[in-house]
Amino acid sequence: MLRIQILLFTFFLCTCVLAQSPMAETLKNNLAYVCPPCNSVCDELKFGEAGKCPHCSMTLVHQDSLEPQPEAPTTIAFYLQSGVEVLDFAGPLEVLTYAGFKVFTVSKSLDPIISQGVLKVLPDYSLEDAPEADIIAVFGGNGFNTSQDTAVTNWIRHQENTQLHFSVCTGALILAEAGILDGKTATTFHNTLDYLEESYPKIKVLRDVRYVDNGNVISTAGISAGIDGALHLVAKLKGYNAARATAYNMEYDNWQPADGLLLSSDDPYRQIPAEAVLSEYVGIYEHWNLPELQIRYNARDRGLEAIFRELRFPLYFEAKDVFKDVGGDTVTFERSADGRVIGYRRSYEPDRLMKRL
């Protein structure tokens, strides 16, 4: 009996040593093939070579192929017609490409188009070879003639995988003719509001609004309003902080969150902290490189910003007492025992408290 106990102890000891050895690490790395998830016991097994799973007969795959893949960017097709207004599409193009969307241009053919008689644009695709996109965007400038082109409206109507439509200025006429705006609320260029209302009685037309969000259709007023609508689209799909960062980097000081009509339930501005909450952080603080740093509330974009050297730098709210700066570093505010904000720390220098003065 004693001999059996000694043998078992020796086996256990050798197993533990082997598990800590370089050989064990090599063996572990060599077991690189796994069974695709099948909700069976073999989901936890690893194998040294490709082949069939002996338990469920599924083809083994390399474990690296099961690692989470980066999410593909949202694709947006910009349909551009000859005569399209430059700012109608160039403003949203600036917004959406900066925010990380994959934008490509489509026109009726691959021939160059002329925007406002001065800018030559070479489209990426024609109607014949354009890939499907998550979002289709249309713009004003020759919008009426384009809306009467059945090749264009049929192309829009037959895009099966499109999740959202976006129009700027008289681009709303194109969506209206394609039937996309039927039963919805929309706006357009101020000179076209009456025509849209009279010609398409199924559409509720609104005046004096920068954009209207129906959920899966966003229409904007004329020209510069396309920038506001595009920033709203960023907020809708990527969050308020992403939209605010985009507006800041574009130096677009006209943007105001929710400066449009939202008819959908997915309101990206609902979670913005109230001014009373953010005012707790307002004040003068120490700075590692300057005599002091001012943090103030910006009522226009409803967020905090740091001011130094006469420049403003947004602080993006993440959670209570936690913000991100424009460089992506975390700024954490610290409170006293009675709950007062007494300073902040930066993620790359967490041991140093910048005190509130």
Catalytic residue positions? 169
Return the structure tokens found at 357.
């003065």
- Alpha-helix residue ranges (DSSP H) falling in the chain: 2-20, 22-30, 86-98, 143-147, 150-157, 171-177, 193-199, 225-238, 240-249, 275-278
Q: What is the DSSP string of 17-65?
A: HHHHSHHHHHHHHH--EEPPP-SSGGGG-EESSSSB-TTT-PBPEEGGG
> 351 in helix, strand or coil?
strand
Task: Assess contact for 75 and 135: CB atoms under 8 A.
Answer: yes
Q: b/e string for 163-185 if b means 16 or more Cβ within 10 A?
A: ebbbbbbbbbbbbbbbebbeebb
d(CA 213, CA 8): 72
